[in-house]
Amino acid sequence: MRPSPLPVLLAAAALLLSPLAADAVERRVPEPHTTTIRIRLKGPTLRVRCRGGDCAVSVVGQGPSIAVSVTRTRPGEPPFTFARTLEGARNIAIETGIGTDTVEVRDLAIPGFLRVATGVGDDALEVANVSAARKASIDSGDGDDAVRLTSVSFGGKVRFFAKAGDDDVTLTDGRFGSRVGLNGGQGIDGLVFEGDSFTEPPVVQSFER
């Protein structure tokens, strides 16, 4: 005599209706059907990507969670927004492509590294109240970019590269625990230090004002 499947079905239904399962369902957010927009925790690294238009990216700490929002605008199309809230990221990597992009990173204590690359275009990047225990890398790409780092603390090496364009870079109240390299690339670039602390003098190249 075959055992009745009813107990198994009842157990499965009870699991699906439990608060833990309901919470898991609520946290599952489908990604858009495109490789040009991504908000994904891959291993220990939170990877955020926006390509194919003008992008507005926000990565903001909210206690143990990180709230991420990506809005892409294309000519002749309504803006498209994708947002997720995640936990458990030890590193953060943000990437945008060709376009006029704005990227905001704030209120985060990152156990690992921070990497930001904004691609080609006249971009604006603001990093505020952010610490990273390991290295930090910022590449603002070609274009006339505005970059502001305020109240940041980086324990490892810091590399900044602005590439071609007339860029403005401002560092305010930063704390840098290792070597810092700042390269403005081609163009007439401006660099301002305001109350920053370095363990060794930063290496500055290709800033004309």
Q: Is 26 left (phi over 0), alpha (psi -120 to 50) or beta?
A: alpha
pLDDT in the model for residue 8: 46
Q: Using 50, 70 and 90 to split pLDDT, how confident is the model at 32?
A: low
Give the mean model confidence (pLDDT) for residues 176-201: 96
With the CA atoms of 20, 25, 27 and 30 taken in that order, what torsion angle do they form, in degrees rounded to the nearest 10?
A: 160
Q: Using 50, 70 and 90 to split pLDDT, how confident is the model at 48?
A: very high
pLDDT in the model for residue 2: 52
Q: Using 50, 70 and 90 to split pLDDT, how confident is the model at 16?
A: very low
Q: What amino acid occupies position 46?
A: L
Report the candidate in 109, 21, 9, 123 with the shortest Cα–Cα distance to residue 66. Answer: 109
Q: What amino acid occupies position 96?
A: T
pLDDT in the model for residue 25: 33
pLDDT in the model for residue 189: 96
Give the mean model confidence (pLDDT) for residues 144-150: 98
Sheet holding 158-161, edge to edge: 37-42, 45-50, 91-96, 114-117, 136-139, 158-161, 180-183, 203-205
Q: Can you read off the two tokens belonging to residue 105?
A: 């990173």
Q: How far apart are CA 154 and CA 140, in angstroms?
A: 18
pLDDT in the model for residue 35: 75
pLDDT of 26 > 50? The answer is no
Question: Which of the pair, 7 or 194, is modelled with greater confidence?
Answer: 194
From residue 119, how far is each of 56, 96, 124, 169 by CA, in Å? 13, 6, 11, 16
pLDDT of 175 > 90? The answer is yes
Q: How far apart are CA 103 and CA 48, in angstroms?
A: 11
How does 152-174 read in b/e, with b if 16+ C-beta sit within 10 Å?
bbbbbbbbbbbbebbbbbebeeb
Q: Using 50, 70 and 90 to split pLDDT, how confident is the model at 5?
A: low
